[in-house]
């Protein structure tokens, strides 16, 4: 279920219908990698690389909540007192 946990963290689904959609995505992901793999080791490698890529991509995402905050006099965002 580890792949499902990773998908839950990265895809905005909730509730029972969302869980069913995540399962469908996980099944397609597994089938695609199984079909493309030449052996069990290749299959596990392909899945590992893709899962690691998802984790890395999400960790490198920079929040943009303060992107529209104008710079203050010192070059920092926000206001000065």
pLDDT in tens, 6-42: 777 767 777 888 888 888 988 998 999 999 999 999 9
**Residue 50 resides in a domain:** yes
The structure tokens listed for 13 are 């689904």
pLDDT at residue 1, as a whole number: 47
pLDDT at residue 20, as a whole number: 87
**Residue 71 resides in a domain:** no
pLDDT at residue 49, as a whole number: 92
Per the structure, the complete domain to which residue 31 belongs is given by: 2-59
DSSP, res 80: -
Contacts of 66 (CB under 8 A, 6+ apart): 77
**Residue 32 resides in a domain:** yes
**Residue 12 resides in a domain:** yes
How many CA atoms, within 13 angstroms, populate the side-chain half-sphere of residue 2? 6
Lowest mean pLDDT among 4-13, 22-31, 53-62, 72-81: 72-81
Residue 15, SS3 per DSSP = helix
* pLDDT higher than 50, residue 58: yes
Task: Determine if the pTM surpasses 0.75.
Answer: no
Domains held by the chain: number: 1
């Amino acid at each position: 279920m580890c792949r499902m946990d990773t998908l839950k963290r990265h895809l905005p689904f909730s509730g029972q219908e969302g869980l069913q959609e995540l399962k469908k995505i996980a099944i397609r992901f597994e089938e695609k990698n199984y079909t493309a793999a030449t052996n069990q080791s290749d299959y596990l490698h392909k899945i590992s690389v893709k899962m690691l890529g998802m984790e890395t991509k999400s960790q490198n995402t920079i929040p943009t909540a303060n992107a529209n905050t104008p710079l203050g006099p010192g070059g920092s965002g926000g206001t000065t007192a």
